[in-house]
Amino acid sequence: GAGVSQSPSNKVTEKGKDVELRCDPISGHTALYWYRQSLGQGLEFLIYFQGNSAPDKSGLPSDRFSAERTGGSVSTLTIQRTQQEDSAVYLCASSWASGIRETQYFGPGTRLLVL
């Protein structure tokens, strides 16, 4: 595809349920990022992948959050036992290089609402 895609675009779930969010990066991009955008908190970094490994997971808010990336491509962000404070827009970005001139390309996001 031409850009970063994410699915689902919207997700409504009940408190306590698990959810999986998917990101398809631009083909050939080796770096992949997850960010979260919530009201009052702005846009925050969650996790960074280089290939299939995650050298920086420092932004994951709790152990209920996990992410994986397979084949150096698709990534899944999993939130277990969702809480209402998890409601936010989850954005994925990818880039082809990690040098100082790197530009991250963002997907449209997944809007998660936990009732």
Partner 1 sequence: KQEVTQIPAALSVPEGENLVLNCSFTDSAIYNLQWFRQDPGKGLTSLLLIQSSQREQTSGRLNASLDKSSGRSTLYIAASQPGDSATYLCAVRRKGGATNKLIFGTGTLLAVQP
Binding site for partner 1 (CB under 8 A): 4, 31, 33, 35, 42-45, 48, 55-56, 58-59, 91, 93, 95, 98, 100-109
User: Is residue 67 a contact partner of residue 47, using CB atoms and an 8 Å limit?
Assistant: yes
Shortest approach of partner 1 to residue 66 CB, angstroms?
Answer: 17
d(CA 30, CA 95): 6
Smallest distance from partner 1 to CB 33, Å: 6
Q: Which is nearer to partner 1, 62 or 98 (CB)?
A: 98
Pairing of strands 75-79, 88-95: unpaired
Residue 36, token pair as written in the block: 């979260």
